[in-house]
Structure 1
Amino acid sequence: MTDTPARLLNLLSLLQIPREWPGSELADRLEVSPRTIRRDIERLRDLGYPVEATRGAIGGYRLVAGAAMPPLLLDDEEAVAIAVGLRAAAGNAVEGIEEASVRALAKLVQVLPARLRHRVGSLSAATVQLPMGGGPRIDPEILTLLATATAGHERLRFAYRAADGSDTRRLVEPHRLVAAGRRWYLVAYDNDRDDWRIFRVDRLSEPVATGSRAAPRELPAEDAAAFVAAKFANRFPGHQAVVTLHAPADRLPPYLGELEPIDDASCRLRTRADSLEWLAVRLATLGCEFEVHEPPQLADTLRALAGRLTRAAGG
């Protein structure tokens, strides 16, 4: 193999298989001399790939973890497997990786050859996932298009059905996708209304990237998640609650609300909920003792819940 760039890519592909590669085996695979392999290893190191060499009878070369993740080389089967896995993660809204899954899927789909896109599409069309929990199903194709347009600051057109059932056409500058439970929201600047808007992705259809790019705008909030949370808080005030939890703050899930440590064994929780019944159940399942400070209606709800549970248990 005399083409140096092609040989380096093939060498890198072999090294990304997690094993120790003797120099002689690499030389046989690439049909070059061991000396050429040594030079190519140095070239990869110069490019930032951390290749470790070991001496001895079983020594060789291995690609190890470095300060940054180098570009990956995937064969067809690996690329299809990753694309299908990312689609599943995006569709099921796994906590903490939803938006990252969509961003990664958008990058991967952009560079997939046509034959592999067809295979990914066929697998997705032939597969039905068991829904985990409530919430609308979102087409990963739409999420991918929205993520790609957002990353490229590209204007979007789409049809949108509002909560009252009215249908409109929108031209927007997408800013960020926000995953909230099993719902997805697009935060975007609405060009026709000259203002920021939040769109539920499950009510959005026929999205088209216009090819027209716009300079990024400054969102009137700390970030997109804070913007969505503030809008919902104003629209649905709900119930504000203050509770002392007898558990360390760092051992409690952060989605509960604002956790303020009191000491090593307790903390103060300030949270908000649309339903006192739902908040009572959430507190009861934390697995720790707690006291309610406000609102007083929450204590009444907990007493009613405790009575139902006692009766159900035959007490």
Structure 2
Amino acid sequence: MPKTSARLLSLLSLLQARRDWPGALLAERLAVSPRTVRRDVDRLRELGYPIVTTKGPDGGYRLGAGTQLPPLLFDDEQAVALSVALRIATTSGAGIEEAAARALNTVRQVMPARLRHRIDTFRVTPVERTPRPQVDSGVLMALSAAVHAREVLRFDYGSGDPAATPPRRAEPHHLVTRGGRWYLVAWDLDRDDWRTFRADRVTPRTPTGPRFTPREVPGGDVAGFVAGRFSGSDDQGGPPCRGEVVLAVPAAEVSPFVHDGVVEELGPDRCRLTEGSWSWHALAAGLCRFDADIEVVGPTELKDAFAHLARRCAEAAR
């Protein structure tokens, strides 16, 4: 029979691995008697682990939730995964950076040397051109709770005076991260349309509103929907401004730099490019990235955008 301390660790590991354990099966896995299992369970309870006894013909045990967080037992891969997640959390912008760093230090201190070396070699360096706004962790929890409960959210948005403007009302569907920022994807009840709100600008009000029936985001994919909104796409998945030009450069030199457009070869030194963007001026400016003469095929809005940029660039040159 293994020593009591080793047996307790094995028992705790088993209880954490699944929800319910019949007492006879625990005794079999530990190679002890059911009476020894009962005694070991009592020892774990004395150490603060909330182990619940289940009734029935196959009565057994379950590791329940307590009022305090007891010591936890992790295998090697779980410990490394937890450490990596905490390391990433220190750069998440979720307002938990300090707590994540302290938790990582606590986990690291009790790790064996072989695991400590593995996590010490893992480094995350956030590269941001501009400081990212921090989101209060309480706000994230409130938004997440509203999403989970499917309850209408009332909130102030932006930095204006809350007393001067009525609260926004929306049906929160998804809390997402993109580019180091947090966003709430919701159905705006006042504008009767989908909106993407920056979480750092949201101040939830209490209480929340009534429950709502979930809707499906356009396209059925929240990741695609959010990416489309940031690229200027409409709800059908395409950019609102699409134009066609002929470039005096081989198609092979254009294709590597075109992701969502279509390049057609017209000859050894000419190609047709059809591309879209969130605005006509952005499309015209983007087409100027090719070091080549440009012939605008259409539409007229794209020609006008080129003319406007030409005047602006000429003024900048003076």
The bucket for the TM-score relative to the shorter chain is 0.3 to 0.5
TM-score (norm 2): 0.44
Higher CA-based Rg: 2
